[in-house]
Amino acid sequence: MSSLAVECIGKRFGGFPALTDVSLSVEDGSFCVLLGPSGCGKSTLLNIIAGLIPQDGGSVLMDGSPVDHLSPRERDVAMVFQGYALYPHMTVEQNLGFGLRMRGTSREIMKQRIEEAARLLGIGDLLSRKPRELSGGQRQRVAMGRALVRRPRLFLFDEPLSNLDARLRASVRLELKRIHEYIRGTVVYVTHDQVEALTLGNVIVVMEAGRIRQIGSPGDIYRRPADRFVATFVGSPEMNLFRGTIRTEGGRSVFRGDDFFLELEKPLPAGPEDEVEIGIRPEDLEVHPPGAAPINAVVELTSDIGAERYLQVRVGGKTLSVRVPEDRDLPSGGGVSLAVKPGRLHVFRNGLRAE
């Protein structure tokens, strides 16, 4: 396997800037997830890494050496796409071994690798079938197996689970994580699904409008988002945001919104009035009887999601989400008050994290 680095990558399609000054490093054996909304440039970056399209500027390096002059075959990368791209006239075994045959791999090694991949993916009993006889989940396992048997320098996945239903997606996602822990390959994985990103990645690269907004571990991305975009894109339901000002009162930093005020745990350098946004995740709000906490609210709606329950509450003119225990029954129209758990308040100034 290999380490990967991209340095100052830029790409335009006509007048549209698909990527702007993108740089990142992926250590040997890491599982790196490119996460972002449709059109943010993540698949374009993956194709540039693979050598399928050229960049306009910057460089792609593997193990510290530039590979910009190399073809996809010479870069020795394996790609798994959203579409399965299986040969319909070949059996599963023939599909798995096709790339190895093209590289002149001996029959003995080819048989050994196919058996190992089939065992890892649980498709050993499907080797004699053809793609039309397989379910969507089975076809995607075969597509992943075809990449595994190659033992490439780099695995590249472009939203491979998008065509699967929710149950299959969860199952294949766990298999993929287990396989990565076994083979310790270097993986770059593209998705718009934050659950996939947080589940699979050692490192997550959040992208938006052709730029990188934050690089970090799943915990860092979720608990300390670098800016307003990351804060609202990662997390479901998304983070609650309130606009207001920070004032210094008696040596304390106090946030004052339209309908409530909160004392900040950590003083922030600010002038007499500093306009900011504060962010609070739904699970970081505690529900108390009316008047017992700083934020007064009215319950509008209760949503049960299996083992979790969410409230939609109104604070002044704004609606926000609050997670409560599944056995907590709060009727619509009733009053409550809310407090923020210690250390869980996020402050953004001009869209960027302020602490």
The CATH class of 4-233 is alpha beta
User: What pLDDT, on a 0 to 100 scale, did the predictor assign at position 201?
Assistant: 93
- Could you say which architecture CATH assigns to the domain 240-353? Beta Barrel (2.40)
pLDDT tens profile 40-94: 999 999 999 999 999 999 999 999 999 999 998 899 898 888 776 788 899 988 8
Contacts of 4 (CB under 8 A, 6+ apart): 25, 26, 32, 49, 60, 61, 62, 154, 186, 188
Percent of the chain's residues with pLDDT above 90:
45
192 is written with which tokens?
A: 């718009």
Residue 172 near residue 179, CB atoms below 8 Å? no
Residue 272, pLDDT above cutoff 50: no
146/139 Cα distance (integer angstroms): 11
Per-residue pLDDT of 160-199, as tens digits, reads 887 777 777 888 888 888 888 888 889 999 999 998 999 9
Task: Output the pLDDT for position 28.
Answer: 93
d(CA 260, CA 276): 14
Q: Say how many C-beta atoms besides its own lie within 10 A of residue 149's C-beta.
A: 23
Sketch the domain layout of the chain as residue ranges.
Answer: 4-233, 240-353
How much is the pTM?
0.88
What are 246-271's pLDDT values in tens digits? Answer: 887 777 788 888 777 888 877 766 54
pLDDT confidence of residue 108: 87
Model pLDDT, residue 107: 85
Angle at 60 between CA 58 and CA 66, to 5 degrees: 105
